Each structure stands twice: as structure tokens, then as C-alpha cells.
Chain A
Amino acid sequence: MNRMEAHKLYENSVKILKENQHENGGFYASPPGTRYPFIYPRDHSIAILGAISADLMDQARLGLEFILNAQKPLGEFSQRYDIDGNDASYKDLQIDGTGLVLYTLGKYFEATGGSFFEEMADRDFVLKYWSTIRNAVEFILMNKNEEVDLIHTINSIHEYPAYEHGFEIYANSACCAGVFSAVEMGKAIGADNNELDRWKNEAEKVKNAILTRMYSPRRRSFIKCIRVKDKNSKPIAYDAFASSVIDVDAAEYAPAYFELISDHDMKTQATVKRIHRHLWDDEIGGLNRYPEHWNRNNGGYGPWCHFTCELANHFIENNAQDLAEKYLGWVVDMAHNYQLPEHISTIQRFELWVEDYTNAEILRDSKIKMIEQTRNHPKWQDGLAYITIPLIWPHAEYIRAYNNYMSKFE
């Protein structure tokens, strides 16, 4: 990995993070005038985690204030918000966003204390938002199926119900970790023990279900999703969708990403091996998010910078420096003017996707605009399609991975 370039990318990532936070606190998913000028709780939470890693604690706090104030009456943090915190979602439930907000708040709280947690931790902030935290936990538990102890959702990290409607691995891991974070925060502020015990008990049940029902010993991998149409189907065996999604997905790393299981655990190691085997892109490098045949790769099939950074963290944690360098170094090499795109494709794959979507009549305005921008991007001349650049999420994940790499290997 080119250390100097890696450092410059780090510095620019921090700058991009700062520049893309609206004064109201929301981190844009992509800058105004580009494809995603809204605040998506999923992207926003990762941006806050990036800010915490870069020691931008004021920005992290402001980001949390924004999102906590935008909670909906039932306790949900929905798909996306405008800069004023008004719900602007147009997609059905994606409950991982609610888990992520709690998890991120927990990480902020932990970081404010650091080594002097008892004296320094920002308890006032948690106290101020305790009723918001409670509502979010209850919203998550409201979506838990009592038969299998898993959380139900329609969409998750890929916003793709065809493969995510049901009990999905990323949503379950995020929500489970979010409830555990709420328990820890509650303990630190002296909240009602009975309530915290109940939450902890429920979170333990979900964790156990993830580690057993969502792990396939024969495949030696976590699985993507147990498809179930209705969260209250009982018994779920009779649900109209009842089936499993066993295709490999980078999101299957989620149990370790959300610290429910160690990166050293054999379940994680075997899952990551399978992800690497099937999703590392042999032509361009980098990690794809799911198999090509799902054919929902807006802009053409290709690797994603933030999933590549996530797995880089796994290799860093496992002292696998060669693989960590391969993953993180690829991100550094692919940056354009120290900016990272959502994902990268080849012209051939891009045009194949355009053909598929044109013939099927499923291109819409935003995609037509994206096609034009991609063809006009300087990287097109190198035979590559850079889709949505910069995207804030990969910069936040890069900050986290770079800092982890530097503290482990430098």
C-alpha cells in the first residue's frame, strides 16, 4: 500500500466528512447537487462512526442530536430525512437504521469517556435523549418475532426487499447491537434495572438466534436472510415467503462488524473466507456486495469501497497484514482526486446494465442522470465507470479502517 497516498486519502476523507455535514447536523449521503442529497440514518450513522474515529466529537454529537430529534412517533428512524429533519422516506421499513442509531450513540458515549469513562462520559447527553432511546428499543422489539426471536424488516442495507424481506442478517445484527448499547447506556445513567434486564434478555435471544438460526454449519457461513412475509406469521413455516436466502453477501460479516461475535471466531473467519472467495472482483479488485446474478447493480456490477474497508478491518483485527493491505490498498489505488465513489464498474458491465434496464423499461430519472454523470467522469477514459462520487459512507469507513491499520501495524 502506498503509505503517502493512503495518508492523503485519510486527510481528504476527514475534510469531506466535515464539508458534508449540514449546519443542522445531518451528514449528506452525497453532496448537494449529486445523487443522494438527503440524510439517510444508515449512511449518517456510519458518518458519525467515522467522525468518532477521526476525533471529530463535536460533529459526532451534532449528528446524533440531528437524528435523535428526527425520531418518528413509533420510535423508528426511517429511511431518509431532509436537512430539517423531516421524514422524506419513500421506502418501506428498514429497521437496521434504528439499530444503527442506537449502536452509534453507544459508540459516541463510550468515546466521550475513553479511559476515564466514569469521570468523563457524556451522561447528560444520554439522559437528555433517554426517552428517545427507550422508544427506539421498543420499536425494535415490536418487530421481533416471538417464534424465532429474530427482528423482521422489509429492507436492509441494500434496500432490496427481494433478498431482504424477512429476518435479515445485517438488520438483526444492527438491532441486536443497538439494544445492547442501550442497555449499557442505561446502566451508566442508572436507568430502571427491570427494564434494562428485559432488554438485555431480549437482545441475548436475538443474538443466540443470529448465531444459530442464521449460521449454516454445512456452508460454514452466516446466511443472508430467512424470508418471511409477515412479522407476525405464526407458525412462520406457513408464511407465503417461507424460504432462506443462502447467496453470499458482504453483509454476512455483520455479526462481527457489530461486535456480537469476535473477528477471531471461526464462524466469522469462515464467513469472511466465503465472502472473499465469491465476491472479490478478479477483474477490477475490490469487494462486490452480492452476486452479479441479483442484477440490481445500478451502474453495472462492481466492487464497493465501503464493503472493502469493512473487510479490511477484519483482516487488520486478525493480524493478516497482507490481506489488510490488499483490501485497503485497493481503496487507496482506486480513489480519484482522493475521492471515493459508491462503487466501480467497467464500461462493458456498465453498458450491459444500461441495456438490461433500458430494455426492461426500468430506468428512472435519477438513474438516467447517473448514467450521464458516469460517462462524463474522467475515469471513463480509463475504461472504468465511477458511480456516485464522492459518497460519504466509504470515506467514513476508510477513516475507521485507516486508523485501525495505523494503530495495529505502524
Chain B
Amino acid sequence: MIRLENMLPKALLTGVLKMVDLDGPEKTLKWLEGIGKDLAEIEGAGFEGARDNNILYLPICPFGGELIEFIEIYGGQPAQFKQVIEVSDNKRDNSDNPWDFPALSNILGVLHYSYVKRRAEMAGFKIFNLGCRSPMKDSDYIAYNEQAIEKVNMTKEEVDKYLEKAYCVFKIEPDNTE
């Protein structure tokens, strides 16, 4: 259902499709990352979510409701979303610092990660996205960043423990780990 009052989130998601069609998934990825970064700079340093010492996790997916509704009215997962996620995953696989990439279970993870990462940087911390569970109905898909899990000396089982009660798991470390 689209009403003028609730159009904006759907407009952003439609914008992603249009951007991919117009300029390709790579530029769309950068565009989304840029939005997250700019918004983070407006909001300032910090960490949003539940905390277990230096583990940050989100018990609910902040974009889940909007994303599910968009995909329902669109009639299925748009191919353009998948293309952007593939570009990000390929970059990670070919990077010397693969732990510096998001674990993407959905397109809005790009926006989320760039926002969270920038806010953490401003606070003097580095953030590692260990895993994300898909918010889609009837989906038990989980995206991991296995290199990030290894980098922070955790195991997939430990990450899974958090993912039983969360959609997204991060580890916060002081920004001198490199």
C-alpha cells in the first residue's frame, strides 16, 4: 500500500532500482554508502543497539518492515538489489582487508553498515560486522563475514548465539587494531 505519507522509504528503495539501471551496481553501492556516511556525520559518534560489553547487536531489524512490504508490493526480490550485494561481496573477497566489509543479508545492510562504521570511527573505534540474518519472511538466510569473525577472535558458533536473538551483530574494538 502506498500513501503519500509513507512514500519516502519506498521511494528510496525504488531509487536504488533506478540507480542500478541507470549507472550500474558499483556506483549504486557507493551512492548508498555515501548516504549512510553523511547521515552518520549529522548524528555524530556513537553506537545504536543493544550491548553486551563490546558486542553490539540489533534485536529487531530496523528496516525489516519497510523492506518486506516493498518486496511484497514489488512482487519479489528485485534483481538490482542482488547485483549491489554481489559487488560488495566481490570487493570483500578481493580485498586485503576483507574484515572491513559488511555481512549483507539484504540491500539496506549497505546503508546500515556505512552509517554504523562512520559513527564508530568518529567515536575512535573500529567496528566489525560479523553476521546478519535476513529479515525476510520464510527466510533463514544468514550472511557472515568470516574474515571479520576470525579477525576478532570469535567463532561462528559464538556469532550464531547472538543471531538467535538478533538480526545483526557487530564487534567494537579500539581503532588501533591494525
Contacts and interface: CB of A to CB of B under 8 A. Distances in A.
Contacts of B44: 72-74, 87
Q: Contact size class for B?
A: 10 to 19
Interface in A65-97: 72-74, 78, 81-82, 84, 86-90
Nearest to A366: B50
Contacts of A74: 42-44
A86 B165 contact: no
Q: Contact size class for A?
A: 10 to 19
Interface in A220-268: 240
A90 B48 contact: yes
B42 A88 contact: no
Contact of A88 (B47, B59, B165): B47
B108 to A, nearest CB: 18
8 contacts: A72-B46, A73-B42, A82-B51, A86-B47, A86-B125, A87-B46, A88-B48, A90-B49
Given A86-B123, A90-B50, A364 B59 contact: yes
A240 B125 CA distance: 41
A58 interface: no
A365 interface: yes
Interface string B17-51: 00000000000000000000000011111111111
Contacts of A73: 41-44
Given A73-B41, A73-B43, A364-B59, A88 B51 contact: yes
Find the residue from A72, A81, A86 having the highest chain B CB count within 10 A: A86
Interface string B90-105: 0000000000000000
A82 B48 CA distance: 11
A161 to B, nearest CB: 15
A89 B46 contact: yes
Interface in B84-138: 119, 123, 125
A86 B47 CA distance: 7
A37 B47 CA distance: 15
Contacts of A364: 59
B142 to A, nearest CB: 20
B140 interface: no
A240 B5 contact: yes
Contacts of A365: 165
Nearest to B46: A87
Contacts of B49: 90
Pick the 7 closest A-B CB pairs, nearest first: A87-B46, A72-B44, A73-B44, A86-B123, A86-B46, A88-B47, A90-B48
B48 A89 contact: yes
Nearest to B120: A86
A72 B47 contact: no
Interface in B45-84: 45-51, 59
A365 B46 CA distance: 23
Contacts of B41: 73
B109 to A, nearest CB: 18
A240 B6 CA distance: 12
A90 B49 CA distance: 5
Contact of B45 (A86, A90, A240): A86
B165 A87 contact: no
Nearest to B5: A240
Interface string A363-379: 01100000000000000
